[in-house]
Amino acid sequence: MASRMNPIEQHVEKIVLSAAVLGVIGVGVWEFGLNESTVSLGGKQVPISTVDGELVKEAQKLQLKLRDGADASVSFPELKESTSSLFEKRIADGTGVGAMASAGGPSFASVLVKDGLSKDVTYHEPRLAAPTSLLVQSTSDAVTDEAKSTFKEYLDPVLAEGATDITWITPSALIDLSGMRVELESSGGGDAKAIPTRWWENMLLIPDVVFERQVRGDDGSWSAPTVVDPMGTQVVAELS
């Protein structure tokens, strides 16, 4: 007499497959229905379903900031109270002949170093050579009555009464950029270290050029230097 198979054994494959299918369905429901996924947006976690709305809000904020009348939200970094007055003073110093730019020596770098990052290091303070004066170019021009009337503001201070010509002196000087780079990269030959290249980014910038004039008297002495204000390219072109 043949024995009959147990009903559970007959349907074990169906039972296992059904359980697996139910498990996959349950995980899918939990992942996509009950537990919504989030993404990092703007430093915070937001649900995927709200990403579009958040992007629209950020775009609107950016559009408001880009308007001509928008207030700038970027402020100058706050410095330590003990050094803020020194920083402001050096920034406010003028660059004219009467008030030369203050020395931006290595000590100034400590103002920009954050707390906990300062080190007791002595750096070589570069000494940059002054420009070398070259020969000047002299050009003489005739001055007509019409020119005296048109450019009265510029010619009266320098043109003698009755003069019919004027001499233009064009000064020139040589700036040794190679020598400046060598000095900036030097340690001075002592125990001090060369200043970090990131302080000047391997670039030499000339923010302004100031011209001075001196008048030689009858006794051969020179007057005190006075600053020559620029006349503008259009006036210079017409005068020449």
Tell me the per-residue pLDDT of 31-82, one tens digit each, with 9 for 90 and over.
666 556 677 777 777 777 787 888 888 888 877 777 766 665 545 555 455 4
Question: Residue 184 contacts by C-beta under 8 Å, 6 or more apart in sequence?
Answer: 126, 194, 195, 200
pLDDT of residue 221: 92
Mean per-residue pLDDT of the chain:
73
Q: Is the pTM above the cut of 0.95?
A: no
Residue 194 vs residue 113, higher pLDDT: 194
pLDDT of 127-167, one tens digit each? Answer: 888 888 877 778 888 888 888 888 888 788 778 777 888 88
pLDDT at 97 over 50: no
Give me the DSSP letters along 85-141.
Answer: HHHHHHHH---SSSSPPPP--GGGHHHHSPTT------B----PPPPEE---EEEEE
| Least confident window among 4-8, 42-46, 95-99, 198-202 | 95-99
Is residue 180 over pLDDT 60? yes
pLDDT at residue number 79: 45
The residue with greater pLDDT, 19 or 75, is 19
Give the tens place of pLDDT for each residue, 102-115.
555 555 555 555 55
How far apart are alpha carbons 174 and 172 in whole angstroms? 7
Number of Cβ atoms within 10 Å of the Cβ of 193: 13
- pLDDT for 114 equals 53
Is 223 a residue whose pLDDT tops 50? yes
Do 136 and 170 touch, CB atoms closer than 8 A? yes
Output the pLDDT for position 219.
92
